Structure 1
Amino acid sequence: MTSEDRGAAGPYTEYDNLPALHAREKDLPLLHPYGTVEVGGRYVTPGGGRLTVRKDGKHLQITLDHLGCPAQLTPEKTALFERLGLAAEGHCLHAGCRHHVAAAGEVLRSFALRTGSIELITFVRAALAIELGDERPVDRLLKDTEALAGPVRRTGPKEHGSTAD
């Protein structure tokens, strides 16, 4: 275990071959792909991200932070996370509300998942699969969403950190 000071936000600690975590994050539970996910929970993912789930009205707000984890910030993974967001967004469109895939510099990914649509654990497992390089769960979710809501819009090239329209 090594520690480094990263200024006002530090100190960060590297442990268990995961990217550096802030000292207050080192005791977060490690999320297992077949484990449970609680609303109101915060976890460290197998790919080194921090996943937070909270209730926000008729939606679950799922945030995945990949700060300090360059392996998760590739254009390919960013495109897969956007497709995952589209799968959730299709259910919102079908229900009459609309949310956009959010990204803040492709480090912070935020999703609005309508309650009663995709099961939370299914959505989280798809996100974990992306971290580990498997796009099949995302493809299945997107296919199921399109069977329900019709074609969801595809995102094209966009400016760094903007939302798709």
Structure 2
Amino acid sequence: MTSEDRGAAGPYIEYDNLPVLHAREKDLPLLHPYGTVKVGGRYVTPGGGRLTVRKDGKHLQITLDHLGCPAQLTKEKTALFRRLGLAAEGHCLHAGCRHHAADAGAVLRSFTLRTGRIELTAFVRAALAVELGDERPVDVLLKDAEALVGPVRRVGPQAGEDQEEAG
């Protein structure tokens, strides 16, 4: 392991060929794509992100932080993560919730997942698949949501392209 000083936020440590992590994150468990995900857990993902899962009433809050990992900040992956958020939002709309998919400039992605709608492990596996460049699990979750509520609204610059494909 090597260390890298990044001023007030550092020191950061290289972790098993992943992007550098803060020293307090080096002991987080590495999340395996087929492993179990626990509510209240914090993990390092195979794509170099930090995934946190917590319960908030009838929802699970899932946060995926890709700080320091430019490979996860591409336009394509940002669009896929937004589609994943829309899949979760579609299930929440079907349950009567009125919140929206969120991400903050692609570095910090936050998802609200209604308990009992999409299995946590399936959702997290889809997020890990996006990190590795596979959009199929996202497509499955989005199609399931659209089967319940019809077309889920599109956000961002991809909106026009998605509407053209549908038409």
Show the counterpart of 2:30.
30
Show the counterpart of 1:64.
64
Gaps of 5+ in 1: 159-165
Show the counterpart of 2:163.
none
**Separation in 2, partners of 1:109, 1:134:** 18
Q: Which runs of structure 1 show a deviation greater than 4 angstroms over 4 or more consecutive aligned residues?
A: none
Gaps of 5+ in 2: 159-167
After TM superposition, the structure 1 stretch with the greater mean CA deviation from structure 2, 71-80 or 99-108, is 99-108
**Residue type at the aligned position of 1:133:** G
- How does 1:2-13 map onto structure 2 within 5 Å? 2-13=2-13
**Separation in 1, partners of 2:115, 2:124:** 14
What does the per-residue CA deviation read over 1:42-75, in whole Å, with 9 as the maximum and x for residues that have no partner? Answer: 0000000000000001100000000000000000
TM-score (norm: length of structure 1): 0.94
**Separation in 1, partners of 2:93, 2:102:** 16
Q: 1:149 offset after TM fit, Å?
A: 1.5
Alignment partner of 1:92: what SS? helix
**Residue type at the aligned position of 2:30:** L
Q: 1:156 offset after TM fit, Å?
A: 3.1
**Separation in 1, partners of 2:93, 2:133:** 28
Show the counterpart of 1:74.
74
Q: 1:92 offset after TM fit, Å?
A: 0.9
**Separation in 1, partners of 2:115, 2:30:** 24
**Separation in 1, partners of 2:40, 2:149:** 29
Show the counterpart of 1:14.
14
Show the counterpart of 1:87.
87
Q: 1:157 offset after TM fit, Å?
A: 2.2
Alignment partner of 1:19: what SS? strand
Q: 1:31 offset after TM fit, Å?
A: 0.2
Aligned length: 158
Show the counterpart of 2:162.
none
- After superposition, the CA RMSD in angstroms is 1.0
**Separation in 2, partners of 1:43, 1:15:** 13
Show the counterpart of 2:109.
109
Whether 1:127 aligns to 2:127 is: yes
**Separation in 2, partners of 1:69, 1:98:** 32
Show the counterpart of 1:45.
45
Alignment partner of 2:47: what SS? coil
Q: 1:4 offset after TM fit, Å?
A: 1.0
